[in-house]
Amino acid sequence: MSKLTNAIRKYFGKIVGSIKKYDDHHNFTCDICGREVFQNERVCEKCNKDLPYIGRQRCTLCGRKVKETGVCMECKRKPLNVKTARSVFTHEGEAARLIVRFKRGDRFLCRTLAELAEPILKREFSDCDVITDVPMTKKAQRKRGYHQTRLLAEEFSRRCGIPFRVTAVKQRETALQKTLGRDAREKNLKGCFRVSDWATVEGLKILIIDDTLTTGSTVSELAETLIRAGAKSVSALTITSVEHKNPFGKLPDKSNENERIEEIGIGTKRST
């Protein structure tokens, strides 16, 4: 019976693999506007031009879009626990919409997002030893139905040839981050990640994959956990990041901090 079960699983595994391989090389409509495409691209030329790419005017540490090139005020106040972080887009418009769709059920968008971010990974993180995801609790994963950052990380690994590895677990539930300011987020996450086997990370250059960088508290806490476990260095790549609206060199207004860093909704920007 077990041999038959294994044979059936192997058979359907091949079918799923073939479908995925076909989907990776055959795309007929833009994943943003639905317009027909002809070169198997996942985003048409017009939509791609309209996406809020982050150019050279970004913080050299956290990778966010800033008003002036250099280290942003948030990183001067308290830098993230990563060697470097980069994002492809500012979290607004269609880029924000793609992230929301991905987190609300459109799993196939992991291929679209990875395709858009692949040039940055290959250019800036090709020397990493392993790619990892941001852990979820089993309860949170059951509620969502899938682990979105794992899908992304595995897709990056397949495209770029850098091994994917589960490096840590999330050992307790945490309050919703979007309702909290940076200090509260850090307190909320403190000690929530754990590396089960230090040998899996010791001496390695690790790249964390996440969908969005808001305050950076999640990436920072995970990076600190990995470094304590012996990782040589930890960097982060996210698809989008929330732009700090305060002028470069000016401390943010604390009274508006929660509103400023709250996760941005579909196709909207928060004002400060």
Neighbours of 191 (CB within 10 A): 9
Query: Over pLDDT 90: what percentage of the chain?
Result: 57
Backbone phi and psi for residue 244, each to the nearest 5 degrees, phi listed first: -75, 125
Query: Residues 36-65: what's their mean pLDDT?
Result: 92
Of the ranges 10-24, 57-71, 96-110, the best mean pLDDT one? 96-110
* CA-based torsion, 79, 80, 82, 86: positive or negative: negative
Rounded alpha-carbon distances, angstroms, from residue 61 to 27, 80, 141: 36, 8, 30
The pTM is what? 0.79
pLDDT class for 258, splitting at 50, 70, 90?
very low
Q: Are 77 and 61 in contact (CB under 8 A)?
A: no
If you write DSSP's letter for every residue of 224-239 in order, what string do you get? HHHHHTT-SEEEEEEE
Report the pLDDT value the prediction gives residue 260, as an integer from 0 to 100.
39
Query: Residues 124-152: what's their mean pLDDT?
Result: 93
Length of the chain (residues): 272
Residue 87: name the closest of 119, 56, 61, 64 by CA. Answer: 64
> Strand pairing partners for 193?
170
Query: Residues 123-132: what's their mean pLDDT?
Result: 96
Average pLDDT, the chain: 83
pLDDT class for 74, splitting at 50, 70, 90?
confident
Burial of 1 (0-12, 13-18, 19+ CB in 10 A): exposed
Backbone phi and psi for residue 43, each to the nearest 5 degrees, phi listed first: -130, 130
pLDDT in tens, 140-182: 889 899 999 999 999 999 999 999 999 999 987 776 655 556 6
Report the pLDDT value the prediction gives residue 229, as an integer from 0 to 100.
96
Gyration radius of the chain over CA positions: 19
Buried b / exposed e over 22-61, threshold 16 CB at 10 Å, is: eeeeebeebbbeeeebeeeebbbeebeeebbebeeebbeb
pLDDT in tens, 214-239: 889 899 999 999 999 999 999 999 99
